[in-house]
C-alpha cells in the first residue's frame, strides 16, 4: 500500500495500522487512503488479530481530516454523496469488526480523523500540547458525515457532543480524558505499551458506560436536547447565513446522525448544504487562512525563542502573555516594577485559564521576567515596542534598542497610527524596523499585520512573519500607510455609524442591523469597546473629517470614553453594554446595514487598488480575521463582487 503500513507483532497478536499519507506533510483521508483502509480491514478479517491499533507515522499529528481539495472538487450533490457514502460505509465496517480496535492519537486529530477514532472501540490521547480532537466541519459549512454525529453523542453524551460539533472547538488530551472522549491520557514514553494493554484489556467500550440519563438524552429526550441546542445556535448564527449548525441538530435528532438519510428537498440535507453559497465561501475562507499561514516560511532558519516587549500596558502586557503561552521566554520592560506588576498579574490569570493547570501556569509564568532596565534587549530574538503613540518617544527608545540589539534580531513596532518611515528616520539602519501590529484583545484576534515600511528589508519582514506564525497567529503582509488595512477599513465604517447616531438613529438599532448581517459586534458597541478617545484620534487620522460626529465629540469632551469609563454611547455595567429594547430581537435592517458597510467596502477596494495589501484575496482574509467581518460572505471584496 502507498499510504498505510500494516505491521504485525512477532507473536501475531496485535496489528498496527500506520498511516503515512504519501506526498504530504500531514495525514489526510483522500480516496486512495480510504480505499487502502478497506484493504487493511479485508486483511484483518481474513486473519483476525487480537487487536488493531491505528497510529500516525507523521510528526505533524494523527490525521488532519478529509482531503479538502478532493472535497472541493465534489461540487455537486451527487459527487458529495459518493464521498460521504465511502467514509460512512468504511467507518461503519470498522466499528463492527469482532476484534478490539484502538486509535493512538498524538498531535492533531481533526474531522475524519476524529471520526475514525470514534469508530474504534478505544482511544488513547497522548499528553502533549499539540494533541487536539475536533469535528470542525461546521467551520466549512458542512457536517461530520462519516459517523461523528452518530457516535460522539453515544460516547460523551449529546450535550457535550453537540457543543463540539456546533462550535468546531478543539479538545486537548486532558480534557478529552475528562469528558470520556479518550479512555486514557498518557505521556509519549509509554503510549505504545498503554495502547497494547488497553486493546487487550477487554474493558467495555465508552458507549456502554454512558450514564443512564445520558442514554435517555440520546433517546426519548432527544427533542429537549435539540430544542436547547437550537436556542444556543440562534444566539450566534442566523440559519440563512449559517445552515450547517441547524443541519447538525436536525440530522442527529431525526436521522440517526446519517446525513445521507435526509431527503434531498429538506433545507438541512446534504444537497442543500452543497448548493448553499455559505459553504463555498467558508471553504474559500479556509484556503485564505492557509495562505496566511504560508507567510514566513521563507525565513526557515529563524527560530525565535526570546522576546523583549517594551510597554507593560494592556497591549504590551497581553502580547507578552501570549508569547509566554506559546513557549517563548519574555522580558517585559516599563519604567518601574510597579508598572509591570499589573501585566504580570493579568498574565498569571490568563495562563491559568488557558492551561487549566496551576502547576503548568506557574512554570509558564516563570518565563515572563520583569525587566525595568531593558537588559533583555541584548539577548532577544524579537523586540516589540508597544508604548504610547508619540513619535519622539518611540525614536528615542529605538535609538537605545538599535545600539544594544543583536544584529540578527527583529526590531518591531506595534504602532497603529504612526508611519514606520517616520519612526525609522533616526535609525542607523532603517531596514531593520518592521511593524508587527497586534489587535485587541490579543488572545482572541487571530490576525497580526506585518508592516513593511519604505526601507524595511525583505529579510526583516520575512522574519517578522515567521515569528507571528511561531506564536500561532496569522501574519498579513501590508505596506506602511495610515491604519494599514484593518483600521483603515474600520475607521470609515464606524464613522458612518456615528453619523447615523447624529441623525437620530438609536445606537441599538444600528448595532442590531449589523449583528443581523453577521458582524460579531455592532459598530457603536465596538467604538465604546475600543474607547471613544481612540475613536476620536482614529477619526482624525483615518477619515480626515473636518466635521467629526457631534455625539462622539460631546461624549469625548465630557470624559465619557465608553467601556473603560463606564459610560459612552452605552452605559457599561460589569463589562456589558446596557441596551434598551430598541433594535432588540429579530430586527434585520438590510438598508441600514448596507449604508454602514458601503464605506468599509469602498475602503477595502481602495486599499487593494493602492497596493497596501497585495490582492483582493488577502484583503478579504485580513478583514475577516482582523475585524470578524461576516465569514459567510467570503470577505468584503468577494461580497462586493457577488453583489455586482
- Give me the number of domains the chain comprises: 3
Residues 519 and 397 in one domain: no
- Are the CB atoms for 273 and 81 separated by under 8 Å? no
> What is the DSSP-derived secondary structure letter of residue 567?
B
pLDDT band at 547 (very low <50, low <70, confident <90, very high): confident
Q: Where are the alpha helices (DSSP H) in 145-240?
A: 148-156, 158-167, 173-179, 191-199, 206-209, 212-217, 222-236
Whether the per-residue pLDDT at 587 is higher than 80: the answer is no
- φ/ψ of residue 108, rounded to 5: -65, 140
- φ/ψ of residue 12, rounded to 5: 75, 10
Q: Is 102 exposed, middle or buried (0-12, 13-18, 19+ CB in 10 A)?
A: buried
Residues 372 and 506 in one domain: no
Contacts by 243-246 with C-beta closer than 8 Å and gap 24+? Answer: 243/141, 243/267, 243/268, 243/272, 243/273, 243/276, 243/278, 244/137, 244/138, 244/140, 244/141, 244/142, 244/143, 244/273, 244/278, 244/279, 245/138, 245/166
- Bridging pattern class, strands 433-437 and 447-452: antiparallel
Residue 548 sits in a domain of what CATH number?
A: 1.10.1040.50
pLDDT average, residue stretch 346-368: 94
Inter-axis angle of helices 486-502 and 507-517, to 10 degrees? 140
Distances (CA, A) of 623 to 448, 490, 626: 11, 9, 5
Residue 472 sits in a domain of what CATH number?
A: 3.40.50.720
pLDDT band at 71 (very low <50, low <70, confident <90, very high): confident
Do the domain assignments include residue 398?
A: yes
Per the DSSP assignment, residues forming a β-bridge with 573 are 576
For residue range 147-181, what is the model confidence (pLDDT) as tens digits? 999 999 999 999 999 999 999 999 999 999 999 99
Q: Closest Cα to residue 493, out of 625, 596, 605?
A: 596
Whether the per-residue pLDDT at 486 is higher than 60: the answer is yes
Residues 6+ apart with CB under 8 A from 50: 13, 14, 99, 100, 199, 200
pLDDT band at 600 (very low <50, low <70, confident <90, very high): very high
- Are the CB atoms for 59 and 21 separated by under 8 Å? no
Whether the per-residue pLDDT at 546 is higher than 70: the answer is no
Do the domain assignments include residue 161?
A: yes
- Are the CB atoms for 502 and 550 separated by under 8 Å? yes
- Are the CB atoms for 413 and 385 separated by under 8 Å? yes
Distance of CA 273 to the CA centre of its chain: 23
Do the domain assignments include residue 204?
A: yes
Count of CB atoms within 10 A of residue 585's CB? 6
Q: In which region does residue 572 sit, left (phi positive, over 0), alpha (psi from -120 to 50) or beta (all else)?
A: beta
Most confident region among 30-39, 218-227, 525-534 by mean pLDDT: 30-39
pLDDT band at 582 (very low <50, low <70, confident <90, very high): low
Do the domain assignments include residue 626?
A: no
pLDDT of residue 440: 86
Do the domain assignments include residue 585?
A: yes
Active-site residue set: 416, 437, 449, 487
Residues 324 and 259 in one domain: no
Report the 3 state secondary structure along 497-555. Answer: HHHHHHCCCCHHHHHHHHHHHCCCCCHHHHHHHHCHHHHHHHHHHHHCCCCCCHHHHHH
Distances (CA, A) of 161 to 108, 179, 204, 240, 249: 18, 10, 20, 23, 11
Residues 182 and 52 in one domain: yes
Task: Map grid coordinates 452605559 to a residue.
Answer: 571
Residues 429 and 568 in one domain: no
Whether the per-residue pLDDT at 583 is higher than 60: the answer is no
Three-state DSSP class for residue 15: strand
- Largest CA-CA distance found in the chain, in angstroms, rounded: 84
Residues 157 and 72 in one domain: yes
Distances (CA, A) of 190 to 54, 125, 126, 193, 628: 16, 11, 9, 6, 42
Residues 319 and 441 in one domain: yes
- Sign of the CA dihedral with 257 first, then 261, 267, and 271 last: positive
- Report which secondary-structure segment, H or E, holds 35: helix 31-46
pLDDT average, residue stretch 78-82: 93
Distances (CA, A) of 380 to 161, 317, 383, 393, 508: 44, 17, 6, 21, 47
pLDDT of residue 73: 86
Count of CB atoms within 10 A of residue 11's CB? 7
- Bridging pattern class, strands 447-452 and 474-479: parallel
Residues 111 and 145 in one domain: yes
Do the domain assignments include residue 639?
A: no
Average pLDDT, the chain: 94
Distance CA(614)–CA(351), nearest Å, equals 36
Task: Map grid coordinates 487562512 to a residue.
Answer: 289
Distance CA(460)–CA(614), nearest Å, equals 18
Do the domain assignments include residue 358?
A: yes
Distance CA(448)–CA(164), nearest Å, equals 27
Residues 472 and 496 in one domain: no
pLDDT of residue 530: 87
Percent of the chain residues past pLDDT 70, beyond the cut:
98
Distance CA(194)–CA(14), nearest Å, equals 13
pLDDT band at 620 (very low <50, low <70, confident <90, very high): very high
pLDDT average, residue stretch 579-584: 68
Residues 478 and 505 in one domain: no
Q: Where are the alpha helices (DSSP H) in 356-390?
A: 358-365
All cell numbers assigned to 385: 515596542
pLDDT band at 558 (very low <50, low <70, confident <90, very high): very high
Residue 40 sits in a domain of what CATH number?
A: 3.90.226.10
Of 482, 506, 541, the last residue of a domain is: 482
- Sign of the CA dihedral with 513 first, then 518, 524, and 525 last: positive
Distances (CA, A) of 511 to 54, 514, 515: 50, 5, 6
pLDDT of residue 279: 95
Whether the per-residue pLDDT at 306 is higher than 90: the answer is yes
- Are the CB atoms for 350 and 344 separated by under 8 Å? no
Do the domain assignments include residue 325?
A: yes
Distance of CA 363 to the CA centre of its chain: 25
Q: In which region does residue 356 sit, left (phi positive, over 0), alpha (psi from -120 to 50) or beta (all else)?
A: left
Q: Across the beta sheet with 51-56, what order do the strands follow?
A: 4-8, 14-19, 51-56, 101-105, 122-126, 184-186
Of 436, 460, 482, the last residue of a domain is: 482
Residues 123 and 228 in one domain: yes
Distance CA(592)–CA(594), nearest Å, equals 5
For residue range 223-277, what is the model confidence (pLDDT) as tens digits? 999 999 999 999 888 999 999 999 999 999 999 999 999 999 999 999 999 999 9
Residues 6+ apart with CB under 8 A from 268: 243, 246, 247, 250, 251, 262
Report the 3 state secondary structure along 106-142. Answer: CCEEECHHHHHHHHCCEEEEECCCCCEEECHHHHHCC
Whether the per-residue pLDDT at 384 is higher than 70: the answer is yes
CA–CA–CA angle 294, 299, 302 (5° rounding): 125
CA–CA–CA angle 6, 7, 11 (5° rounding): 140
Whether the per-residue pLDDT at 543 is higher than 80: the answer is no
Count of CB atoms within 10 A of residue 273's CB? 23
Whether the per-residue pLDDT at 100 is higher than 60: the answer is yes
Query: Which domain range does residue 491 map to?
Result: 487-611
Residues 476 and 564 in one domain: no
Amino acid at each position: 500500500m502507498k499510504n498505510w503500513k500494516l505491521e504485525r507483532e512477532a507473536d501475531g497478536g496485535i496489528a498496527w495500522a500506520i498511516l503515512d499519507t504519501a506526498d504530504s506533510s500531514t495525514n489526510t483521508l483522500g480516496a486512495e487512503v480510504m480505499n487502502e483502509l478497506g484493504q487493511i480491514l479485508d486483511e484483518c478479517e481474513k486473519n483476525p488479530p487480537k487487536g488493531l491499533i491505528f497510529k500516525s507515522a507523521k510528526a505533524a499529528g494523527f490525521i488532519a481530516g478529509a482531503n479538502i481539495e478532493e472535497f472541493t472538487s465534489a461540487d455537486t450533490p451527487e459527487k458529495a454523496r459518493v464521498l460521504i457514502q465511502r467514509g460512512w460505509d468504511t467507518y461503519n465496517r470498522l466499528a463492527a469488526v469482532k476484534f478490539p480496535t484502538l486509535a493512538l492519537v498524538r498531535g492533531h486529530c481533526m474531522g475524519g480523523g476524529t471520526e475514525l477514532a470514534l469508530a474504534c472501540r478505544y482511544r488513547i490521547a497522548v499528553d502533549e500540547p499539540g494533541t487536539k480532537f475536533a469535528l470542525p466541519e461546521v467551520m466549512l459549512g458542512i457536517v461530520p458525515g462519516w459517523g461523528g454525529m452518530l457516535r460522539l453523542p453515544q460516547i460523551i453524551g449529546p450535550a457535550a457532543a453537540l457543543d463540539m460539533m456546533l462550535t468546531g472547538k478543539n479538545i486537548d488530551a486532558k480534557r478529552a480524558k475528562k469528558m470520556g472522549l479518550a479512555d486514557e491520557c498518557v505521556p509519549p514514553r509509554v503510549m505504545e505499551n498503554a495502547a497494547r494493554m488497553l486493546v487487550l484489556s477487554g474493558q467495555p467500550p465508552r458507549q456502554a458506560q454512558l450514564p443512564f440519563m445520558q442514554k435517555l438524552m440520546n433517546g426519548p429526550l432527544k427533542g429537549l436536547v435539540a430544542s436547547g441546542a437550537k436556542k444556543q445556535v440562534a444566539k450566534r448564527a442566523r440559519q440563512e447565513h449559517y445552515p450547517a449548525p441547524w443541519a447538525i441538530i436536525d440530522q442527529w435528532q431525526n436521522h440517526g446522525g446519517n446525513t445521507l438519510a435526509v431527503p434531498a428537498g429538506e433545507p438541512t440535507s446534504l444537497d442543500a448544504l452543497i448548493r448553499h453559497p455559505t459553504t463555498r465561501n467558508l471553504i474559500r475562507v479556509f484556503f485564505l487562512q492557509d495562505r496566511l499561514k504560508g507567510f514566513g516560511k521563507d525565513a526557515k532558519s529563524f527560530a525565535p525563542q526570546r522576546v523583549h516587549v517594551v510597554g507593560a500596558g494592556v497591549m504590551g502586557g497581553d502580547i507578552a502573555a501570549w508569547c509566554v503561552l506559546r513557549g517563548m521566554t519574555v522580558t517585559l520592560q516599563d519604567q518601574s516594577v510597579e508598572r509591570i506588576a499589573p501585566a504580570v498579574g493579568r498574565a498569571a490569570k490568563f495562563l491559568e485559564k488557558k492551561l487549566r493547570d496551576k502547576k503548568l501556569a506557574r512554570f509558564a509564568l516563570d518565563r515572563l521576567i520583569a525587566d525595568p532596565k531593558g537588559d533583555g534587549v541584548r539577548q532577544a530574538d524579537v523586540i516589540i515596542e508597544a508604548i504610547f503613540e508619540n513619535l519622539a518617544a518611540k525614536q528615542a527608545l529605538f535609538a537605545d534598542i538599535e545600539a544594544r540589539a543583536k544584529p540578527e534580531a527583529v526590531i518591531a513596532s506595534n504602532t497603529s497610527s504612526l508611519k514606520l518611515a517616520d519612526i525609522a528616520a533616526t535609525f542607523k539602519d532603517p531596514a531593520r524596523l518592521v511593524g508587527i501590529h497586534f489587535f485587541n484583545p490579543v488572545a482572541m484576534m487571530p490576525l497580526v499585520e506585518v508592516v513593511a515600511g519604505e526601507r524595511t528589508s525583505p529579510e526583516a519582514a520575512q522574519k517578522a512573519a515567521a515569528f507571528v506564525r511561531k506564536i500561532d497567529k496569522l501574519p498579513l503582509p501590508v505596506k506602511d500607510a495610515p491604519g494599514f488595512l484593518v483600521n483603515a477599513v474600520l475607521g470609515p465604517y464606524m464613522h458612518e455609524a456615528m453619523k447615523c447616531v447624529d441623525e437620530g438613529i438609536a445606537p441599538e438599532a444600528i448595532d442590531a442591523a449589523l449583528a443581523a448581517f453577521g458582524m460579531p459586534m455592532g459598530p457603536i458597541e465596538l467604538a465604546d469597546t475600543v474607547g471613544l478617545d481612540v475613536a476620536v484620534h482614529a477619526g482624525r487620522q483615518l477619515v480626515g473629517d473636518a466635521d467629526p460626529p457631534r455625539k462622539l465629540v460631546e461624549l469625548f469632551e465630557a470624559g465619557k470614553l465608553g467601556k473603560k469609563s463606564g459610560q459612552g454611547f452605552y452605559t457599561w455595567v460589569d463589562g456589558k453594554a446596557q441596551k434598551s429594547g430598541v433594535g432588540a430581537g429579530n430586527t434585520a435592517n438590510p438598508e441600514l446595514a448596507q449604508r454602514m458597510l458601503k464605506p468599509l467596502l469602498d475602503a477595502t477596494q481602495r486599499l487593494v487598488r493602492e497596493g497596501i495589501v497585495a490582492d483582493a484575496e488577502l484583503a478579504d482574509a485580513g478583514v475577516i480575521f482582523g475585524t470578524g467581518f461576516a465569514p459567510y460572505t467570503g470577505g468584503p471584496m468577494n461580497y462586493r463582487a457577488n453583489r455586482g
